[in-house]
A and B are shown apart, each in its own frame.
Chain A
Amino acid sequence: DTGVSQNPRHKITKRGQNVTFRCDPISEHNRLYWYRQTLGQGPEFLTYFQNEAQLEKSRLLSDRFSAERPKGSFSTLEIQRTEQGDSAMYLCASSLGPSMNTEAFFGQGTRLTVV
């Protein structure tokens, strides 16, 4: 299966630690998105890449969060000095540009628990 792949699937960390998640998009997709989802809510946009360029960041993306997509393929999302409020499902999605009308495909997510 060549869908969107996210690792790890689950991460438990102590408050104050740094964590990094990885997303491998569908191979030909040039657009990659990160979302965050808390219990009972829909996903909320964090940031967007077109190829290796980070083109858009949400207000939700505080300075403790950083995302990269160094070669326009996989992406990483790092959270520094984690807080309990960071506990959520982190979802990655990809789509094929340049059209805005293409379908977005999501990965299985990384569930982060900060204790």
Chain B
Amino acid sequence: KQEVTQIPAALSVPEGENLVLNCSFTDSAIYNLQWFRQDPGKGLTSLLLIQSSQREQTSGRLNASLDKSSGRSTLYIAASQPGDSATYLCAVRQAGTALIFGKGTTLSVSS
């Protein structure tokens, strides 16, 4: 059974710092991995989608990497801003159709 783990559960950084969020999964047989952002009480906003054949994807200050063989993904956020404060969730898609989520990392960026 696929399990997705996100470390750390919470992270506090001062504005301007670069940071890395980690996601690991137990079964490497995935179609893709998707990173989401969730603001308190809100839905999920898709940030990046990495296909199983890809190593990384970039969008603005965000860069996500995928090492499928080791079951790891990282989300790198450059020059963090207070507006980046949110919970970041990673999810993998396997042969079934459902996304399997981690519990998320709650990021707080102070000004």
Please determine whether chains A and B interact with each other in the same assembly. yes
Question: How many chain B residues have a CB neighbour from A under 8 Å?
Answer: 26
Do A33 and B98 have beta carbons less than 8 Å apart? yes
Alpha-carbon separation in the docked complex, A91 to B98 (Å): 13
Beta-carbon contact of B31 and A104 below 8 Å: no
Contact with A along B73-104 (1 / 0, CB 8 A): 00000000000000001010101111111111
- A40: Cβ under 8 A from any B Cβ: yes
Instruction: Return the chain A residue nearest B91 by Cβ.
Output: A42
A25 at interface, CB cutoff 8 A: no
Tier of interface size on chain A: 20 to 34
Mark each residue of chain A from 35 to 63: 1 if its CB lies under 8 Å from any CB of chain B, else 0: 10000111111001000000110100000
Chain B contacts to A: CB under 8 angstroms? 4, 31-32, 34, 36, 41-46, 49, 51, 89, 91, 93, 95-104
* In the complex, the 6 A-B pairs of residues with the closest C-beta atoms, listed nearest first: A42-B101, A45-B98, A106-B44, A108-B43, A100-B31, A109-B43
